[in-house]
A = this chain, B = another copy of it.
Amino acid sequence: MLIFDPMDNCTRIFADSRQINICRNVVKEHQQAFTDLSQVVALAGNEVRLKILFLLTQEKELCPCDLSDILDMTIPAVSQHLRKLKDGGVIRSRKSGQTVFYSVDPSQITLLQPFFQIIQEPLIEVRA
């Protein structure tokens, strides 16, 4: 009787077990970078948050209320996105009176720039 074992590797011809091992090591070596980066990229992968990051880049800083107006969303909804971005280290905040101004954390601009170049261009094909 054959028991299902999904971790059984296939016995393909092309497999280069030495190269496979090199890859395993590279992935292991950069494990933390993959975790950190995917977390930031996942934050930017939400349409609302991508817009927020774009707007903060363009306008230097904005408050939750501005963003609520621009994006036509409730303030709590915006605020929760801002919190995630802040927790992820993608944006900063500055308080002035009862207004809180958010801006992109300078250390993240390099990562985000390529996205906004794509946005700004006259719609080059994003999907092949």
Residues on A close to B: CB < 8 A?
6-7, 9-10, 12, 14-15, 19-20, 23-24, 26-27, 30, 32-47, 50-51, 54-55, 58-59, 63, 65-66, 68-72, 74-76, 88-89, 99, 105, 107-108, 110-111, 113-115, 118-120, 123, 125-128
A114 touches B123 (CB 8 A): no
Interface of A is mostly: helix
Return the contact of A24 from the options B7, B32, B70, B74 (Cβ within 8 A). Answer: B70
Q: Are B107 and A65 touching (Cβ within 8 A)?
A: no
Residues of B within 8 A of A107 (CB): 125, 127-128
What residues of B have a CB within 8 angstroms of the CB of A69 in the complex?
Answer: 9, 15, 20, 24
Assess whether B27 is in contact with A127, with CB atoms less than 8 Å apart. no
